[in-house]
Amino acid sequence: MLGPDGGVSYLDCQHVLTAFDETHTAEPRQAAGRLIDRFGRVHRSLRISVIDRCNIRCFYCMPEHVDSFLPQTDLLSFDEIVRVVRLLASAGVSKIRLTGGEPLLRPNLDALIARIAAVPGVDEIALTTNGILLPRFAESLKAAGLQRLNISLDTLDEATFQRISRRSGVDRVIAGIDHAIDLGFEQIRLNALAIRGLTETEIVPLVDFARRRNLTLRFIEYMPLDADRAWRDDNVLTGDAIRQRLETQYGPLQETGRDDPAQPAIDYRFADGSGRVGFINPVSKPFCNACDRLRLTADGGLRNCLFSDRNWDLRSLLRSGASDADLRNLISESVAAKEPGHLISRPGFQQPQRAMYQIGG
Ligand code: SAM
Ligand code: SF4
C-alpha cells in the first residue's frame, strides 16, 4: 500500500476500510482476539513510557527548561501498567518496549520488567535509553528479563553532544554501551538521530564505532516532535543522503530484508561483511502502512500514533474501578480511530501538542 512517494496510499487504505466495515460488529477486533484497525493493521507492539523526566535535554525532544514534570501520583503505577499489558497481551500484543523520558530514572524498573516478563503472551521486552545510567542498572534489568536494548548515540564528539543534549558527558553514554555489551544482552542497537547541518560529520565515526563493536547502528530522521517547535523540513538529514555518504566510504550496501514486516528500519550489510547499518525514515519514507504500534504515556493515555493528539484516558478508567471489559472497549475505540498515516511535510500538518518526551519515543 505504498503511495508514489513511498508513503501510505490513502486510496488503498480506503479500499481496506470498506472491506472491514462490512464485517463490523460491536467489538469485532477484540472478539477476533486481535487488535486490527480499519486498514487491516494488526497491533502487536506496545511502547510504554514509564516517566517523562530525563537526565539530559536533547533539543529535538525536550525544552531546555521544563516547567513541571508529572507528579508521582500522575504516573501509572506498576499494577496499572501490568493490568494494561495483560489486556493487550490477551489481544495479541507480544512486543513491549519501555521508554520515556529516560526510563532508567523510574525507580525499581527491574521489578516492572520482571512482572511484564511474566505476562502470558509477552515474548519480547526491549528498552530505549540514553545509556547514561546503564552501568548502574543494566545488570538488574537483564536479570529481570530485559532482552533488547536500543541506546541513543547521536555523536561521539563532546562539543556536539553538548549542543544536542545541553548537558555534558558523551563518555558516560559510551561507558553505558560498553557495559551493556559486556553483560551480553540478546540484542543491542544504537540509534542515531540525524540532523542536517549538525551531525553530517558524525556519520562515519558512528558507523566505525558500531562496526568495531559489531552492533547495528540505525540512523533516524528528525521528526517534528520537539518541545521548542523549531523543526523545519530542511533540518531533516534523510536516510538516503546518509546511505549515499556511506556507500562512498564503504562501497555498496546490501539490503538484509526484514524479519518483521512492521519493523520501521531498513537494514543493510557492508560489503566487507562487518556490521550492519539501518535507516528509519519516518519523514522521507513513512512506514505508517505497516505500523503495529500502540503507545501508553507515563500518565496513562493510550495513543494510536505519535502524531495524533487524541488520547484515550486509561488512567481515569483504571482509577475508577472499571472492569476489564470497560478497558477493552476504550482500547478498541483507540485502535478503531487510528488514521492511515501521519501528514508530516504535507499541507495541513499540525505538530502534536505533546513533545516526544511527553509521549514516549
Ligand atoms: N531517553 C531515551 C533515549 O533517548 O533513548 C528514551 C526516550 S527517547 C524520546 C526515544 C528515542 O526517540 C531516542 O532514540 C531519541 O533519539 C528519539 N527522538 C526523540 N525526539 C525525536 C525527534 N524529534 N525525532 C526523531 N526521534 C526522536
Ligand atoms: Fe531525554 Fe531521550 Fe528526550 Fe534525549 S531523547 S531528552 S535522552 S528523553
Q: What is the CATH number of the domain that holds 324?
A: 3.20.20.70
Ligand 1 proximity of 235 Cβ (cutoff 6 Å):
no
Q: What's the whole-number mean pLDDT along residues 164-169?
A: 98
Domain membership flag for residue 311: yes
pLDDT above 90 covers what percent of the chain? 85
Answer whether residue 14 shows pLDDT above 90. no
Domain membership flag for residue 3: no
Answer whether residue 195 shows pLDDT above 50. yes
* 252-296 tens-digit pLDDT: 999 998 778 888 999 999 999 888 999 999 999 999 999 999 999
Q: What is the largest CA-CA distance in the chain?
A: 60
Question: Secondary structure of 106-158 in the HEC alphabet?
Answer: CCCHHHHHHHHHCCCCCCEEEEEECCCCHHHHHHHHHHHCCCEEEEECCCCCH
Residue keyed to cell 537483564: 142
- Using the atom order of ligand 2, give the atom closest to the CA of residue 356: 3
CA of 103 to the centre of ligand 2 (A): 10
Domain membership flag for residue 191: yes
Answer whether residue 5 shows pLDDT above 50. no
Find the range with the poorest average confidence among 157-171, 215-229, 332-346: 332-346
Q: What is the pLDDT of residue 48?
A: 98
Answer whether residue 9 shows pLDDT above 70. no
Domain membership flag for residue 4: no
Domain membership flag for residue 1: no
Ligand 1 proximity of 226 Cβ (cutoff 6 Å):
yes
Domain membership flag for residue 160: yes
Ligand 1 pocket test: which of 58, 222, 287 has the largest number of ligand atoms within 8 Å of its C-beta?
58
Question: Which residue from 157, 159, 139 is spatially nearest to 149, judged by alpha carbons?
Answer: 139
Domain membership flag for residue 169: yes
| CA separation for the pair 269, 257 (Å, rounded) | 10
DSSP assignment string, 52-76 = S--SS--TTTS-SS-S-PPPGGGSP
Answer whether residue 6 shows pLDDT above 80. no
- Using the atom order of ligand 2, give the atom closest to the CA of residue 130: 7
Domain membership flag for residue 233: yes
338 φ, ψ (degrees, to nearest 5):
-65, 135
Annotated binding-site positions: 47, 54, 58, 60-61, 97, 101, 128, 152, 223, 288, 291, 293-295, 305
* 47-57 tens-digit pLDDT: 999 999 999 99
pTM, to two decimals:
0.91
Contact residues for 317 (Cβ-Cβ < 8 A; gap 6+): 326, 327, 330
Number of domains observed in the structure of the chain: 1
Question: Which residue from 327, 320, 306 is spatially nearest to 84, judged by alpha carbons?
Answer: 327
Distances (CA, A) of 101 to 30, 46, 120, 352: 31, 16, 27, 17
Q: What is the pLDDT of residue 4?
A: 30
The stretches of the chain forming alpha helices (DSSP H) are 10-22, 28-31, 78-90, 109-117, 134-144, 158-165, 170-183, 203-212, 239-250, 314-318, 324-336, 356-359
Domain coverage including residue 163: 10-359
Q: Are 251 and 271 in contact (CB under 8 A)?
A: yes
Q: Are 283 and 221 in contact (CB under 8 A)?
A: yes
* 113-146 tens-digit pLDDT: 999 999 999 999 999 999 999 999 999 999 999 9
Answer whether residue 7 shows pLDDT above 70. no
Ligand 1 proximity of 99 Cβ (cutoff 6 Å):
yes
Q: What is the pLDDT of residue 128?
A: 98
Q: What's the whole-number mean pLDDT along residues 329-340?
A: 96
